[in-house]
């Protein structure tokens, strides 16, 4: 099944507002990025049966897709329990991505939203994904790219005052707390995917450096949400607009940025299993 060229949906063209459901249930630095990404799936056909590789707690899929996906796969039992409670998938599987318990050519499509950058060894995962996908199946994924670390606002400020060693330390620190193993460019991804029988059909960069600064500072300003989650198992204790007015004001500017950014720090890919 050939994958058509895809034009990313803009905020004012989306059929629904993806931002509010995210910021009213997640720390805002995660929420604004997920809201931007959720728009991209609006006019992409993900054929069944579909695999969500690294599905986590199912929160993103519950808002981004108009139907229950067939299989959500994740190695962590805690998030999978939440995904089951949300009733997001027809089936949830606790498994490493390098060992997917389905026969060859079982799935007609797959998605992995902001997951692959967290996996140290990608070759076994991509080889296994290629095994369980039908020929022609689309594989949708997004990852931080080569601009993510150079454009971190605090590191750039340190560079400007000639504190490059401290800037390098900060970039390593932020990459570690983000749990990133891969922030690669398009050429690297094209070679990596081709080695396992995938072809990139279309890709675009998104999330500007200004938007990244909102995300970056949100890691630190989001500490109250972390405490709230520890105490009450909820990221946002009072999910009302009067309580989140400031959060919405700063994140909505990011949400309404053009979807395609020449200097974007993340990349969305639509690939095909050959």
- Residues 96-123 pLDDT 10s: 999 999 999 999 999 999 999 999 999 9
By CB atoms closer than 10 A (0-12, 13-18, 19+), residue 66 is exposed
The CB-side HSE value for 173 (13 A sphere, CA atoms) comes to 11
CB 115 within 8 A of CB 54: yes
Q: What is the average pLDDT across 240-249?
A: 94
Give which of 74, 144, 86, 77 is closest to 111, Cα–Cα. Answer: 74
Question: Which run of H or E residues covers position 83?
Answer: helix 77-86
Mark residue 207 as left, alpha or beta (left: phi above 0; alpha: psi -120 to 50; beta: remaining).
Answer: left
pLDDT of residue 5: 60
Superfamily of domain 11-148+183-273: Vaccinia Virus protein VP39 (3.40.50.150)
**What are the respective helix, strand and coil percentages of the chain, to the nearest 5?**
40, 15, 40
The C-alpha atoms of residue 226 and residue 23 are separated, in whole angstroms, by 14
pLDDT of residue 228: 85
The rounded percent of the chain whose pLDDT value lies above 90 is 85
**pLDDT of 225 strictly over 90:** no
Domain ranges for the chain, please list them.
Answer: 11-148+183-273, 150-180
pLDDT of residue 230: 83
- Residues 121-159 pLDDT 10s: 999 999 999 999 999 999 999 999 999 999 999 999 999
């Amino acid at each position: 099944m050939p994958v058509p060229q895809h034009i990313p949906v803009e905020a004012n063209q989306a059929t629904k507002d993806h931002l509010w459901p995210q910021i009213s249930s997640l720390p805002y630095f995660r929420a604004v990025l997920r809201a931007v990404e959720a728009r991209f799936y609006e006019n992409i056909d993900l054929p069944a049966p579909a695999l969500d590789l690294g599905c986590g707690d199912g929160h993103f899929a519950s808002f981004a897709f108009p139907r229950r996906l067939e299989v959500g796969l994740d190695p962590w039992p805690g998030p999978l329990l939440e995904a089951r409670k949300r009733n997001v998938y027809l089936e949830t599987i606790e498994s490493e991505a390098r060992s997917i318990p389905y026969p060859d050519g079982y799935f007609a499509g797959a998605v992995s939203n902001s997951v692959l950058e967290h996996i140290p060894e990608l070759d076994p995962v991509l080889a296994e994904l290629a095994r369980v996908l039908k020929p022609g199946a689309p594989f949708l994924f997004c990852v931080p790219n080569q601009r993510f670390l150079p454009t971190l606002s605090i590191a750039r400020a340190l560079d400007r005052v000639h504190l490059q060693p401290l800037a390098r330390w900060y970039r390593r620190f932020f990459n570690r707390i983000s749990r990133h193993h891969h922030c690669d460019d398009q050429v690297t991804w094209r070679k990596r995917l081709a080695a396992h029988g995938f072809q990139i059909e279309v890709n675009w960069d998104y999330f500007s450096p200004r938007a990244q600064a909102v995300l970056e500072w949100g890691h630190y300003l989001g500490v109250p949400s972390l405490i709230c989650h520890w105490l009450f198992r909820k990221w946002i204790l009072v999910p009302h607009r009067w309580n989140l007015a400031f959060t919405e004001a700063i994140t909505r500017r990011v949400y309404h940025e053009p979807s395609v950014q020449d200097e974007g720090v993340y990349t969305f890919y639509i690939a095909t299993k050959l």
